[in-house]
Chains A and B, each alone.
Chain A
């Protein structure tokens, strides 16, 4: 597709612009957090760590939602073959979103003075709960916004009898998005009950709703990019959604191991959430199949690179790293440490963030009438962002492994200043790779925002020629068999990480010998992340070799 078919598709543009701006600030806050980890006195008393972190998590959720909304608004008309319903409401949604962002960014700082705005037993300004820090006032506006999104999507879609599986996936996704949000809108006296419901929002969003939206959007973007068959992609979406929900519904129990809920959750949570990687493996496999539907050259490199990154990091970050810490006997060690953060960054940014960026790279050139844009900046920013997120997740993982040993084996606590010096290496890595990541983000935001506005003269031929590789070496065609081997390697390293966490149960480790967990952690995490990096490189190289002169010539001579 090279141009807009329906005028209302243009409404998605503004959401992508906001997404990019919020993304920039979110990463800036993240960088500040990394700096505060290294030196806790930075901005202490002016902008305390908890405020910066609340901005970091909140902006993260908000820009991911912007990406979803933008993508849905763009593909909605294509899926329905008509204009979006209620464009006025969508504009209202946009301004409501801006209001929520400004209001929420402002109110989070009140935590430094301990002001939550209690009225009628509810915290109206901010509520100090991880991920759902927004106060009740913002919560209500967000709920209204979600309701508008539901209305627009459902009214735009054709009659129910004409729905394919992608329609079903998206419809269920947006309705569940709204429904689940309600569980975060009550003050709960009991801590165990509060955590129980907080994970309704966080877990069911991420591992239920967002994944369903993710699968549907990835499916449709593949249809757009590779002219894959709608029906066969739709069927894959169906299986993806089924697997997500059948594993994720009770899989939520992996959050109920230690929050004060009974022991039986350890059984249910371990069992069902061990199945949660299944849909992700399936999705991983499908991007291979759909990308190899035909052998046409890759038209939009950055869009596909981010889409591939999204699916691979979902498999690695959410699937494999999630799997390693999902069993009660491994989770008892990883819980409450940086090990969790490694998983969270790869899974959240990797899966949903990269999807939004992929959609932006696909959609913005079309809206801006610049489909022949210079893709070099996008390519460079992809690699910076991808290497950055892998590197900082490695820092978190190694830091987390050290932390588990210090906390749980040596019984040292933060107060003694024992933990901070031991994590110097990991904190440094997070900061350094954070800067690599940030450099990528700056390039990317600049590239996408000025796309089509700058240097229209860039021709298609010159810059694209650079992307085409000869189909040899790392760019030889990628077979399904080879993809399977790559995936197998990822799981082998994933198993090493699982055994790394399990090894904290060994009596030799508990007697104070860290050799086994440190060694296995180092091998496991570095292996997993390197394989991911090399696989993505291999996949993209193979894609870039399509349309290489020799192949094209062969094709011509054959016909």
Chain B
């Protein structure tokens, strides 16, 4: 394959022959490509996949807008920083995703997912209405709640509006339905049950047990709160604040609200009480007990200017009056940083 100076090497002839062969390969490639996208392939099509009236096409636009692929992978391509998202919807279901996406900085607690199931659209898409049935149907959601619920994630909070959350779920529903020819391969064993689950000796491992209490404590905590709140009004204020603090954790409030004055997804609670805020309708109100209570039970009724509506789920029918009072007392007690 070398050509000595002065020798005849037939470059032109060889060039023509190579081009002919290349043309043949190109024809094979184009035919295979054509065959790949015909309808006989029965591949999922984003136009046909809907979630809560949004098509997966709209979701794909949101997915690209936030450059999700810049951290995650999708069908295995992307940045290898966060987990692969292709089959996520099928594993954790729509309610978990809806609970996670608006406040990606924290893992959803069980109650946060449960609240989402109160939404008829989400429950219908999930195919179950109760949290127990949901956890059974989506064991990966159950595992995430049990192991991580209420803990901070490694993902920053992103300004994903309620509408965009639904679009994203529509897109993930589509990718989850895609036939990816057996990728990713299914593990044959339960990794957490094997002694090899910590392959780096000495590296810190979050044991499932150490995280579990957050979720396990849920029923007990809410029962306790109801019980003590029912006690006479003479109950110690600090006790009420402690209950509020516990409730804020259990219900996943802290996924969106910081304890100082910093705005994360929602406004920070520190120093919030007693300030004046301007609402979207132009009026100015003072943050007092009544305002906070109303904002918890029906947040969309009085949205503060510059916050998108529909981000926080209404807690009406989820928290009783005493629980709300405890949370209000807790917020009142927080001083600004």
Contact = CB atoms under 8 A, between A and B. Distances in A.
Contact of A128 (B22, B29, B70): B70
Given A416-B143, A418-B205, A422-B200, 16 more contacts: A51-B67, A51-B70, A130-B70, A165-B11, A187-B64, A231-B5, A245-B18, A258-B75, A261-B37, A261-B181, A338-B80, A411-B190, A415-B153, A416-B192, A512-B191, A513-B196
A413 B83 CA distance: 7
Given A111-B70, A236-B2, A192 B178 contact: yes
Interface in A239-297: 239, 242, 245-246, 249-250, 252-253, 256-266, 268, 282, 289
Contact of B203 (A54, A111, A424): A424
Q: Which of B69, B143, B157, B174 has the most CB of A within 10 A?
A: B69
B39 interface: no
A408 B73 CA distance: 15
Contact of A189 (B22, B47, B185): B47
Contact of A410 (B61, B181, B189): B189
User: Nearest 7 A-B pairs (CB), nearest first?
Assistant: A50-B70, A410-B191, A411-B187, A336-B76, A235-B3, A258-B183, A128-B67
Interface in B9-55: 9, 11, 14-15, 18, 21-22, 25-26, 28-29, 32-33, 35-37, 41, 43-47
A46 to B, nearest CB: 9
Contact of A193 (B32, B37, B67, B107): B37
A502 to B, nearest CB: 13
A45 B157 contact: yes
Interface in B224-258: none
Interface residues of A, number: 102
B213 interface: no
A246 B21 contact: yes
Contacts of B25: 246, 249-250
Interface string B54-76: 00010011111111111101111
Given A111-B70, A425-B200, A192 B11 contact: no
Contacts of B206: 416-418
A421 B80 contact: no
A235 B22 contact: no
Interface in A388-445: 402, 405-418, 420-425
Interface residues of B, number: 94
A190 B65 contact: no
Nearest to B189: A512
A113 interface: yes
Interface in B159-210: 159-160, 164, 174-175, 178-192, 194-200, 203-206
Given A128-B69, A262-B36, A235 B188 contact: no
Contacts of A49: 70-71, 79, 81
Given A48-B156, A129-B69, A415-B83, A336 B200 contact: no
17 contacts: A48-B156, A49-B71, A118-B65, A128-B67, A129-B69, A165-B11, A191-B46, A195-B75, A232-B3, A235-B1, A238-B14, A239-B1, A246-B22, A265-B36, A420-B154, A421-B203, A422-B198
Contacts of A338: 80
A114 B80 contact: no
Given A190-B46, A232-B3, A406-B199, A123 B107 contact: no
A333 B26 CA distance: 29
Contact of A336 (B70, B84, B147, B154): B84
Nearest to A416: B147
A127 interface: yes
Interface string A33-72: 0001100110011001111011000000000000000000
B301 interface: no
A282 B18 contact: no
Question: Which of B5, B45, B46, B147 neighbours the largest number of chain A CB atoms within 10 Å of its CB?
Answer: B46
Given A114-B158, A128-B64, A249-B25, A335 B76 contact: yes
A486 interface: no
B11 A238 contact: yes
Contact of A114 (B26, B65, B180, B195): B65
Nearest to B185: A408
A558 to B, nearest CB: 25
User: Which residue, A113, A421, A514, has most C-beta atoms of chain B within 10 A?
Assistant: A421
A436 to B, nearest CB: 22
Contact of B68 (A50, A234, A424): A50
B144 interface: yes
A36 to B, nearest CB: 8
Contacts of A101: none
Given A130-B79, A235-B2, A416-B206, A191 B68 contact: no
A45 B159 CA distance: 11
B135 interface: no
B274 interface: no
Contact of B65 (A54, A116, A336, A406): A116
A127 B260 CA distance: 35
A113 B2 contact: no
A332 interface: yes
A239 B15 CA distance: 9
Contacts of B43: 190, 192, 260
B78 interface: yes
A187 B144 CA distance: 34
A53 B71 contact: yes
B306 interface: no
Nearest to A123: B64
B46 A196 contact: no
A421 B204 contact: yes
A341 interface: yes
A115 interface: yes
B77 interface: yes
A374 interface: no
A340 interface: yes
A268 B32 contact: yes
B178 A116 contact: no
B148 interface: yes
A189 B57 contact: yes
Given A50-B79, A259-B180, A336-B80, A282 B1 contact: yes
Contacts of B60: 189, 191
A514 B32 contact: no
Contacts of A337: 80
A54 B70 contact: yes
A384 B33 CA distance: 44
Contacts of B195: 512
A523 interface: no
A130 B179 CA distance: 22
A263 B74 CA distance: 18
B4 interface: yes
Nearest to A423: B200
